[in-house]
Structure 1
Amino acid sequence: MDWHPPYFILVGLMVALLVGMLILTWAYLILRRDYSSLAARLAKQQNDLIGLSAAAVQVDRRVLDQEQRLRECDERVASLSSQETGYQPYRAAIERLKDGVDPQELVSQLGLSLSEANLLARLYAQRQG
């Protein structure tokens, strides 16, 4: 006795295989579309990263320039503060004016002229008022 599967079973299997192939083809097309979308997003992110890197290099250069300028300013301030010894009598006079000393006493104590002592007293009085 030969056993032959009925034709409807073979047809059913062929239809199932055809449906399976259609589902796999549909899934393949979706995956290919998603891959293309992801590849485009990755390329955009790479371009953004390149732009950010270039901007970071620019910022780094600016920071270095600013640090150099700050060092130069510090050196200038240090050199100016060492040169300010000529203003010491005036500073001392201002401090004594704060303590209530008369301009006449500044002339005798610090060797200022009377006009300098009066000017400092007026300037200091204006700042206090």
Structure 2
Amino acid sequence: MDWHLPYFILAGLLVALLAATLMLARAYLSLKRAHAALVAKVAQQQNDLIGLSSAAVQVDQRMLNQERRLREYEEKLASLSQQDTSYQSYRTAIEKLKGGVAPQELVSQLGLSLSEANLLAHLYAERQD
């Protein structure tokens, strides 16, 4: 019977080794699936990052366009503001003409040219008729 004992031990070790191999195979397959899932997630995140980068570039372009348009509008507003100032000086000149001021006095008071002052006086005189 002594010679059967080592065979039982050897058979037990063989069964244990087989069970361990099966457990390792299952763990390997589980890790392989987890690795594939992680690779897919990394690929998805890379695609998301590419999309976000593209969107950021488009947002930057829109912002640059908006800033350009804002500068254009500011320039137009400044131009209109200057036009409004000259309009106010003409309006002041007309009011002074209504008050009886001579065109020569408008030249010295408001900085208008003599031809502008005469034109305003002529136009105002036509409106009075």
Shared fold (TM-score greater than 0.5)?
yes
Name the SS of the counterpart of 1:6 in structure 2.
helix
1:66 aligns with 2:73: yes
TM-score (norm 1): 0.64
Deviation of 1:91 (Å): 8.1
Aligned-residue CA RMSD (Å): 2.7
For 2:27 and 2:72, the matched residues in 1 are separated by 67
Any idea what the Cα deviations from partners look like across 1:64-119, whole Å, max 9, x if unmatched? 01001101110110121022123316988xxxxxxxxxxxxxxxxxxx98x84xx9
Which sections of structure 2, spanning at least 5 residues, go unmatched? 100-123
Residue in 2 aligned with 1:126?
none
What amino acid sits opposite 1:62 in the alignment?
R
- 1-side partners of 2:68 and 2:84: how far apart? 24
1:39 and 2:46 aligned: yes
| 1:24 is aligned to 2:31 | yes
Structure 1 runs not aligned, ≥5 long = 93-111, 120-129
In structure 2, the partner of 1:7 is 14
Distance in 1 between residues matched to 2:63 and 2:57, nearest whole Å = 10
Q: How high is the sequence identity, in percent, across the aligned residues? A: 14
Structure 1 runs of 4+ aligned residues shifted over 4 Å read 1-5, 89-92
Please give the residue correspondences for 1:1-129 in structure 2 after superposition, counting only pairs within 5 Å: 4=10, 6-88=13-95, 116=128
* Distance in structure 1 (CA, Å) of the matches to 2:67 and 2:90: 35
For these two proteins, the number of residue pairs brought into alignment is 97
TM-score, normalised by the number of residues in structure 2: 0.64
1:61 Cα offset (Å)? 0.4
1:7 deviates by 1.2
Tell me the amino acid that sits aligned with residue 54 of structure 2: N
